[in-house]
Structure 1
Amino acid sequence: MSLTKTLASLAIGLISPLLLASAQASDFLVSTDWLEKNLKEKNLRIIEVSVDPGVYERGHIPEAVNFSWHTDLVDPVTRDIASRENFQKLLRNAGVNKDSTIVIYGDNNNWFAAWGAWVFDIYGVNNVKLLDGGRKKWEAEGRPLSPKAPSVKAGNIEVAEANSKLRAWLPDVVSVAKQQSPTTQLIDIRSADEYSGKIFAPAGFAELALRAGHVPGAVNVPWGQAVAADGTFKSVDELRKVYAAAGVDGSKPIITYCRIGERSSHTWFALKKLLGYDVRNYDGSWTEYGNAVGVPVTNLAGTVWGGK
């Protein structure tokens, strides 16, 4: 064997199986097959972020820890994301280290898992991936589930200060609505009926705004247009075509919004992580904007709140 081949063989032997297997995953997505093959890798940390109560406890992906989006990832006093101190403590308790590869997944088409990925992004945590297709695809394929929470050693990760420039705020959206920021595009990812003002919120959801409709100037690209039938993201080329059809090609900064910010996180992930566009997510979304005083609303259906 030549010296070159010998050195190459030694180098390969020094590379961890996880790094070798990473060739089968994208920078921001992993497949269910990839994840099952890498469940035991020591530098891998799996986090479930679901919305339905008890779904994690009934059975989850082996080695996954559970983050509750409405208690762990938010500050319930200030109606904001978790503080840097609390978020770092949460990650360390979950065994996350500086060199960990983090995979997030959840129910409801990964809506809140994507919202979790958005919070990770704000705090500068790298090497975070979303399980393509989420919990639904994992279960549909009959892959293993466990009712036992894993025992993990405390991690050593350090998170950065929150980067507020990576998120949109009410004044940013109002500025676009009033045509004071003509270079920024708004994408409303809710259903057509929500966008038109025919309904205030999807059936069964309690978080309401007193006004129906959408932010003036926003285009409507429902989040579901970004995924295939099995819940996995469409290809990059397909995604570009989906948003280009609505006049969004990445040439301008983008703000995504929905009802409370979770569905729009899914679109934020597609646009920013998969397409590389300049995108901010509007946490609070229509429940904040639609209840705000003195802001303009476009209500195509003319629906008026009746107190019922």
Structure 2
Amino acid sequence: MPANPDAIVSLDWVRAHLDDPNVVFLHAGGDRAEYEAGHLPGARWVHGYDDLTVTRDGIRALVPLQHEMEATLGRLGVEATKTVVFVASGKSMWPHRGFWVLRFYRFPNVHIADRSVAAMAREGVALTSDEPAVAPATCALSEGDESVLSTWEEVLLTSQGAGKAVILDCRTDGEYRGEPGAHAAPRLGRVPGATHLNWELLVDDDGRFLPPERLRSLYAAAGIDGTRPVFPYCGGGIRSAASWFAMHEVLGWDEARNYDGSWAEWAARTDLPIATGE
């Protein structure tokens, strides 16, 4: 699959569409204070964990069910005919998570901005602290697209040596070795056989992806070249959504499939193996 040049919109595109009634900017993050400190005019606040994940069967940070996501988008005034652009205050995985969730539900027109809101402000884009009035809408989504999702069963088979897929741990070096991360987990470690590439290395401090040739080099060092399926995971399918975006949308590797359950699910299942250390 060729790379998707429309997945990321430029600063010039953002400037040209700030007043476009058919474009909805969704400012995603983990702390509303980021949004209140300054956002694009008309942008609507999306809380990453509250709006783009749910806890289900005791597992945190799973993709919302279809009706749950439809309700969230409706509350945000998003109809399926709109163009959605995810942005964030600074370097963040939340726009990529938002993109992946909407892509999973086959939302027709979803994008991310090519840089953070802070970077836009340095380029002269005026920010506001005013929150727009939003009229509720009806948003009908399609059934989830399993081609962008991987499951613990598939990851386990790969870990056991079946098939040709690659398991990619997108967390920090410490989490990969088995050290505690930002979120408590019943067990520490990694999926046996997983290679490692911290998602933070894929983007610069302004949230811009590195050039494709640099991304390919980083993935190649982790044993990934786009010729095999890749199952990226992290603590809860959020950071791994950024790596999925880099592979699937920037590099055009259509066999990248985000493991949404990620370590939250894997660690909770005591029947699944773990590895620790280097």
TM-score interval, normalised by the smaller of the two chains = 0.7 to 0.9
Match in the other structure for 2:175 = 194
C-alpha distance 290-111 of structure 1, shift in aligned 2 (>3 A): same
| 8 Å CA contact 2:31, 2:47 repeated in 1 | no
In structure 1, stretches of 5+ residues that fail to align are 1-24, 302-308
1:76-134 deviation per Cα after TM superposition (whole angstroms, max 9, x unaligned): 45553222223223323333333322100124623122111111011100221111222
1:169-224 deviation per Cα after TM superposition (whole angstroms, max 9, x unaligned): 222222221223x3111111112222122x221xxx2x222433321111111112
Distance 1:162 1:270 in 2: 21
| 8 Å CA contact 2:176, 2:189 repeated in 1 | yes
> What letter matches 1:196 in structure 2?
R
1:279 to 249, 253, 256: 256
| 8 Å CA contact 1:65, 1:150 repeated in 2 | yes
TM-score w.r.t. the length of structure 1 is: 0.80
2:241 to 257, 265, 269: 265
Distance 1:148 1:168 in 2: 39
| 8 Å CA contact 1:51, 1:108 repeated in 2 | no
Distance 1:139 1:282 in 2: 34
2:220 pairs with 1:244: yes
Match in the other structure for 2:65 = 83
1:51 to 30, 34, 39: 30
Deviation at 1:232, TM superposition (A): 0.5
| 8 Å CA contact 1:72, 1:90 repeated in 2 | yes
> What letter matches 1:188 in structure 2?
D
| 8 Å CA contact 1:105, 1:131 repeated in 2 | yes
- Give the 5 Å matches for 1:1-308: 26-76=5-55, 78=57, 79=59, 80-107=62-89, 109-141=91-123, 143-155=125-137, 157-180=139-162, 182-197=163-178, 199-201=179-181, 205=182, 207-277=183-253, 278-300=255-277
SS where residue 72 of structure 1 aligns? Answer: helix
SS where residue 46 of structure 1 aligns? Answer: strand
Deviation at 1:241, TM superposition (A): 2.0
SS where residue 193 of structure 2 aligns? Answer: coil
SS where residue 92 of structure 2 aligns? Answer: helix
Deviation at 1:154, TM superposition (A): 4.5
The alignment-based identity, stated in percent, is 30
Distance 2:187 2:250 in 1: 33
Q: Find the structure with the greater CA-based Rg.
A: 1
Distance 2:229 2:112 in 1: 23
C-alpha distance 93-295 of structure 1, shift in aligned 2 (>3 A): closer
| 8 Å CA contact 1:52, 1:107 repeated in 2 | no
Distance 2:75 2:174 in 1: 42
TM-score w.r.t. the length of structure 2 is: 0.87
SS where residue 174 of structure 1 aligns? Answer: helix
> What letter matches 1:64 in structure 2?
A
SS where residue 276 of structure 1 aligns? Answer: coil
Distance 1:109 1:261 in 2: 17
What is the aligned residue count?
271
1:264-291 deviation per Cα after TM superposition (whole angstroms, max 9, x unaligned): 1111111111111111112232232233
Distance 1:229 1:161 in 2: 35
Distance 1:139 1:188 in 2: 33
Distance 1:89 1:194 in 2: 34
> What letter matches 2:221 in structure 1?
A
